[in-house]
Amino acid sequence: MSLVLFDQPGPRARARQRVFNVLALVLVAGLLALIVWRLHDRGQLEYRLWEPFVTPAYIQAILVDGLLKTLQAAGTSIVLAVVFGLLFGVGKLSDHAWVRWPSWAVVEFFRAVPLLLLITFVFFTFGVGDGFGPYWSLVVGLTLYNGSVLAEIFRAGILAVPAGQGEAASALGMRKTQVMTLVLLPQAVKIMLPSLISQCVVALKDTSLGAYILAPGLTFIGRSVYTEFQNQVPTAIVLAALYIAVNLVLTAVATWAQRRYVGEKSLVVPMVGDGASGLAPAGQRSI
């Protein structure tokens, strides 16, 4: 607690704080007790409902067919999205209007359209029947969306490199491509690494949308488990716990990268539907 805003609490303030502490304790404990009692009351704590999660065959199904597929989809789409984002992010900074404008339009379009709408469209247009199926529909959708977000991050990262760097490189006689690939990008990567990792968390969470088109993954497996055992509540809790665990690890990595490579400076990425102002700090993760 910083003591900038108020004085050191005196005896009366401390007594008041103690009262609030006790009230908060009662409130939080009451809420937790209510949840546990409710779970018990509705028979959701019975062993029968939790059994699949301690049965090796189901654990394997959840981890291999579920978590692994989810990580795979997220990983594949992030790799593809980096390529997409690099192309269009640099494209948005191009000196040629015929490169700049299409890049801008593509990035804006895919950032503004809901991912689920995009995935549904990709699936019903290219995925069904002889198409490439739900898994790749999900990956394509994720790539287009995350790629567009990454394009903005790349652009902001490149712009965050001090202007003198590019000017000095040009003065040395480098070509524009050389300036970008040898001088600007290597420095930009360092600045945007935390945002990139944060985007992995977003991609990982968004893989769950694949359940709408029956793509394999954690949520899909969860659905088959609770349809079979009618244990909706335990399944939901297990699903959430798995996602939270993986995401907390990724967030910790992002925080470490921020501290290691960037420091206090945070990258500024414009929000959707706005090119110039409306600057949102990118250190804060988008939904």
Partner 1 sequence: MTFLDGNVGLILQGFWLTIQLLVLSGICSIVLGTLLAAARVSPVPLLRGAAVVYVSIFRNTPLLVVFIFVFIAGPRLGLNYPFLVKGVLAMTLYTSAFVAEALRSGINSVPVGQAEAARSIGLTFGQCMREVVMPQALRAVIPPMASVLIAMAKNTSVAAAFGLAEATATMRGLTNNNANERLMIFLVFALGYIVIVELMSFAANRLERRWRVA
Residues lying near partner 1 in the complex (CB under 8 A) = 1-2, 4-6, 9, 17, 20-21, 24-25, 28, 38-39, 42, 44, 109, 112-117, 120-121, 124-125, 201, 205-209, 211-212, 219, 222, 226, 232-233, 235-237, 239-240, 243-244, 247-248, 251, 271-274, 277-281, 284-287
CB nearer to partner 1: give 34 or 79: 34
Distance in Å, CB of 187 to partner 1, minimum:
25
Distance in Å, CB of 125 to partner 1, minimum:
5
CB nearer to partner 1: give 63 or 280: 280
Residues in the chain: 287
Q: Residues 6 or more apart from 230 whose CB is under 8 A from it?
A: 49
Q: Residues 6 or more apart from 180 whose CB is under 8 A from it?
A: 90, 158
CB nearer to partner 1: give 71 or 174: 71
Buried b / exposed e over 99-114, threshold 16 CB at 10 Å, is: eeeebbebbbebbebe
CB nearer to partner 1: give 58 or 212: 212
Residue 19: Cβ-neighbour burial (10 angstroms; 0-12, 13-18, 19+):
exposed
DSSP track, 68-79: IHHHHHHHHHHH
Distance in Å, CB of 224 to partner 1, minimum:
13
Distance in Å, CB of 202 to partner 1, minimum:
10
Distance in Å, CB of 260 to partner 1, minimum:
21
Distance in Å, CB of 179 to partner 1, minimum:
30
What does the angle CA 57 – CA 39 – CA 56 come to, to the nearest 5 degrees?
10
CA distances from 128 to 120, 202, 214 (A): 11, 26, 11
Distance in Å, CB of 263 to partner 1, minimum:
16
CB nearer to partner 1: give 196 or 213: 213
The alpha carbon torsion through 154, 134, 119, 196 (nearest 10 deg) reads -20
CB nearer to partner 1: give 124 or 261: 124
CB nearer to partner 1: give 17 or 55: 17
Distance in Å, CB of 245 to partner 1, minimum:
9
- Work out the number of other CB atoms within 10 angstroms of the CB of residue 82: 18
Closest listed residue to residue 73, CA positions, set 142, 150, 151? 142
CB nearer to partner 1: give 183 or 202: 202
SS3 of residue 285 by DSSP? coil
